[in-house]
Amino acid sequence: MSERTEERRAGSRLLGLVRETVIVVGTALVLSLLIKTFLVQAFYIPSPSMEPTLVAGDRVLVSQLTPGPIDLSRGDVVVFHDPGQWLDPVPEPDRSAVGDVVVDVLTFVGILPQDSGEHLIKRVIGLPGDVVACCDAQGRLTVNGVPLDEPYVYPGDAPSDMTFEVTVGPDALWVMGDHRGASQDSRWHQDLEGGGTVPVDEVVGRAIAVIWPPSRLDWLGNHPEVFEAVPEP
């Protein structure tokens, strides 16, 4: 066999390997994009407002089937777009132009988690039509007149240091952080349009699991026992 023939075969094998690698990587990216677009997406937790359920640095997996094919429920932990003036502007990260492109592409296809620049994560306390109030004689939140015993609230925190009574509007939610003493949630934005509620249309999805770091792997429930006695409005 001539040296030229062997070189051609080696070149052909290399070309085949490159082609196969491109196909595999391309397929993986397309599948990741489809999954991110229609099913699940990862998000990064930047603050302590949901402690002890979630801590800063957690990565959570969010199902985009809720709301949609699966209805929202009281107790769901949801990610939503800033409904307006809830978040302070986030400084731009110090990256090169190439770094920005790489991060944007990997985030777009779902490989990297979304950052917190335009999103918040809180627990749904009130659904459309619910009357949410604080507090009863024992210092508990009430929904439609029924007091809540909330095991997910940060140890030592009161259910709320603010008194309020709100009727949640149609197609809106009343949301609160589990770390009530460190969460600027619906209570803090009652002076804004919507009275502190979040439009359902702004909800990205329901957080279903902590996926990073490995020591924090866990499913996220919605504590149905807390709300089982609450009547429909």
The CATH number that applies at residue 106 is 2.10.109.10
Residues 26, 116, single domain; the answer is no
Residues 10, 116, single domain; the answer is no
Average pLDDT score over the chain: 82
pTM of the shown model: 0.78
Residues 32, 58, single domain; the answer is no
Higher-pLDDT residue of 174, 20: 174
Residues 31, 133, single domain; the answer is no
Distances, alpha carbon 153 to alpha carbons 34, 74, 122, 165, in Å: 35, 15, 12, 20
Given a cut of 90, whether residue 111 has pLDDT beyond it is no
Given a cut of 90, whether residue 180 has pLDDT beyond it is yes
Percent of the chain with pLDDT over 70: 71
Q: Domain for residue 4, yes or no? A: yes
Residues 3, 51, single domain; the answer is no
| CA distance linking residue 145 with residue 142, whole number of Å | 5
pLDDT at 68: 87
Given a cut of 80, whether residue 37 has pLDDT beyond it is no
pLDDT at 84: 86
**Active site (catalytic) residues:** 49, 122
Residues 190, 134, single domain; the answer is yes
Residues 12, 96, single domain; the answer is no
pLDDT at 85: 84
The tens digit of pLDDT for each residue in 130-166 reads: 999 999 999 999 999 999 999 999 999 999 999 999 9
Which region among 2-11, 74-83, 224-233 has the lowest average model confidence (pLDDT)?
2-11
pLDDT at 87: 82
Q: In total, how many domains does the chain have?
A: 2
Given a cut of 60, whether residue 36 has pLDDT beyond it is no
Q: Domain for residue 151, yes or no? A: yes
SS (H, E, C) 82-120: CCCCCCCCCCCCCCCHHHHHHHHHHHHCCCCCECCCCEE
The tens digit of pLDDT for each residue in 186-233 reads: 999 999 989 999 999 999 999 999 998 999 999 999 999 999 999 999
Q: Residue length, the chain?
A: 233
Within 10 angstroms of residue 100's Cβ, the number of other Cβ atoms is 12
Given a cut of 60, whether residue 96 has pLDDT beyond it is no
- The domain in which residue 96 lies consists of 40-227
Residues 9, 52, single domain; the answer is no
Residues 211, 196, single domain; the answer is yes
Q: Domain for residue 5, yes or no? A: yes
Band of the pLDDT at 9, cuts 50, 70, 90? low
